[in-house]
Amino acid sequence: MFATPAFAQTAAGAATGGPQDMIMQFLPLIGLVVLFYFLMIRPQQKRLKQHQLMITNLKRGDQVVLNSGVLGKVVRVEDKEVGVEIATSVTVKVVKTMISEVRAKGEPAPANDAKT
């Protein structure tokens, strides 16, 4: 009583649409893939290239921040590992990819630290 009649679409009517209808069906999907590439994949690739460049330019005496948040000074650079001095005469071996940031030599102290 409250149901509306449903009409089935014939198979012949769907098949006569042609290639234009198929392109119109896939156009939103293609648009989402392009949007996903420009918003997600491309920026991640740029970040990865910048990180690799930073790691290759690593040299002795650089101040580094590790992924764990530990600050240290590079004392030895090898192929895949780096010797980082985290305290006076305390050196640890760190895998190069675990370095998250390289700070410049002689970086000014933050304004809220007492100068000694």
DSSP secondary structure letters along 23-65: HHHHHHHHHHHHHHIIIIIHHHHHHHHHHHHHHHT--TT-EEE
Q: How do residues 50-88 score in pLDDT, each as one tens digit?
A: 999 999 999 999 999 999 999 999 999 999 999 999 999
Mean per-residue pLDDT of the chain: 85
Residue 15: the pLDDT is: 52
| Residue 10 pLDDT > 80 | no
Residue 42: the pLDDT is: 95
Residue positions counted in the chain: 116
Q: How do residues 86-107 score in pLDDT, each as one tens digit?
A: 999 999 999 999 999 999 765 5
Q: How do residues 19-34 score in pLDDT, each as one tens digit?
A: 888 888 899 999 999 9
Q: How far apart are CA 76 and CA 114, in angstroms?
A: 30
Q: Which residue has the tokens 């460049």?
A: 53
Q: How far is CA 77 from the centre of its chain?
A: 25
Q: What is the pTM of this model?
A: 0.66
| Residue 111 pLDDT > 90 | no
Q: Does domain 58-103 have CATH number 2.30.30.100?
A: yes
Residue 114: the pLDDT is: 60
